Copies of this chain bind each other. A is one copy, B any other.
Amino acid sequence: MDDRSSLRFGPISSAAEGPLYQQVIAAVVREIGAGRLAPGDMLPSVRKLASDLLVSVITTKRAYDDLERAGVIYSRQGVGAFVAPAASDALRSDALDHLKTALRDAIAAAARANVSDTQLIQILRTLIEEAHRT
């Protein structure tokens, strides 16, 4: 019996939506975000995940390395990789950083396009609604 039978790493599509290792990272993050991987849980081995996702071992290794560097998981030599206790916090702060960077970028673009502050906020509202309809 497989104690990780509920894990659902989506398919990885080469040549479609960004570097493969980032797609692998996103897949792991999704599992943690969805609660299917909780702090302390062991992740699939690099080799197992690679064969499951049909990507190279190097690609999954790079994904795990990045996740460890971000404090989302930790690896124990010869044992395996595990979800870090503060994984959710790490992910959340990562997403917040990304959010702020994107907003600052949008503000700069608004200045270049002569879009006023109130117009910018209105555009954000519109895009939020658009996202909800999706």
Contacts and interface: CB of A to CB of B under 8 A. Distances in A.
A133 interface: no
A131 B109 CA distance: 12
B95 A124 contact: no
A102 B101 CA distance: 9
Contacts of A131: 104, 107-108
A102 B99 contact: no
| Chain A, interface SS category | helix
A48 interface: no
Contacts of A14: 76, 79
Given A15-B74, A76-B15, A120-B124, A102 B113 contact: no
Interface string A67-83: 00100001011111010
Interface of A: 14-15, 19, 29, 33, 69, 74, 76-80, 82, 91-92, 95-96, 98-100, 102-110, 112-115, 117, 120-121, 123-125, 127-128, 131
